[in-house]
Structure 1
Amino acid sequence: MGLITKKCVIIDDDVQITELFSELLALLGLKILAIGHNGLDAIDLFSKHQPDILFMDVEMPKLNGIEALKEIKKINPSAKVIIITGNTSSDCERILQDNGVTAIIYKPFDIQKIKQLIEHFDNPVSMYT
């Protein structure tokens, strides 16, 4: 599957981050299906759009990214969820890994790392960067 065919949803409570990130992903050839701003949006938009990739923050209002990840994995255990976070704690990383996150990218993010991750997405091994 080429980059141009990948469809994604972006979830982050920071509007500036979602705007910047959607522009970066569009430059990489991804189609942005929807943007949300909390964990409840993540579950709703994932269910509605069934994206190839869901990009999501951890610390958000209403429902955090960890709880949203758990619910999304109940809907589709093979869902590809990439966490974009500034939380570098090993506890957070372990919890995300235990709940089936596909990859973790730490803020500030590097567009080349994101591009490399997306290009290797068909690899069954999870990536943490």
Structure 2
Amino acid sequence: MAKKVLIVDDAVFMRMKLKDILEKNGYEVAGEAKNGQEAFDLYQSEKPDLVTMDITMPDVDGIQAVKMIKEFDAAAKVVMCSAMGQQGMVMDAIRAGAVDFIVKPFDTDRVIKALDKALN
């Protein structure tokens, strides 16, 4: 059965790119959110196997959203997505409970490796 992934990014283009990569590699997209609050709400209703989470978003950022999701479900698997030069924020995300991170622009092989690793 295909693993369900929730895509969280405030940029429509990034969500489309990630959705394309995931669907071409056998993943099912459980939903898309443009900020951390939407991500948390969707996580509760969809219960995806994994979340890809942008760090910098309006309203509720990715790090806060990871904390909210992990508080709701300690077993949640979240892979952060960050632009170059956000290493400090990536470390904050890992401390908040993220299992890995992928760098934008997305490299298909790196995305799939990170998701496979997080799920196994």
TM class by shorter chain equals over 0.9
- Give the TM-score of the pair, scaled to structure 2: 0.92
Q: Show structure 1 runs of 5+ residues with no match.
A: 124-129
Determine if the alignment matches structure 1 residue 56 to structure 2 residue 50.
no
One-letter code aligned to 1:30: Y
RMSD: 1.4
One-letter code aligned to 1:23: D
One-letter code aligned to 2:4: K
Q: Show structure 2 runs of 5+ residues with no match.
A: none
- Residues 88 and 106 in structure 1, CA contact (< 8 A), matched pair in contact too: no
Percent of aligned positions that are identical: 29
- Give the TM-score of the pair, scaled to structure 1: 0.86
Q: Deviations over 1:59-100 (max 9, x none)?
A: 001100000000000011110001111153332122111111
Partner of 1:13: 10
Residue 92 of structure 2, aligned match among 92, 95, 106: 95
Residues in 2 aligned to 1:118 and 1:82: alpha-carbon distance in whole angstroms: 7
- Residues 5 and 29 in structure 2, CA contact (< 8 A), matched pair in contact too: yes
Q: Would you say how many aligned residue pairs link Structure 1 and Structure 2? A: 120
Residues in 2 aligned to 1:30 and 1:100: alpha-carbon distance in whole angstroms: 22
Residues in 2 aligned to 1:51 and 1:72: alpha-carbon distance in whole angstroms: 11
> Which structure dedicates a bigger proportion of its chain to helix?
2
* Deviating 4+ runs (over 3 angstroms): none
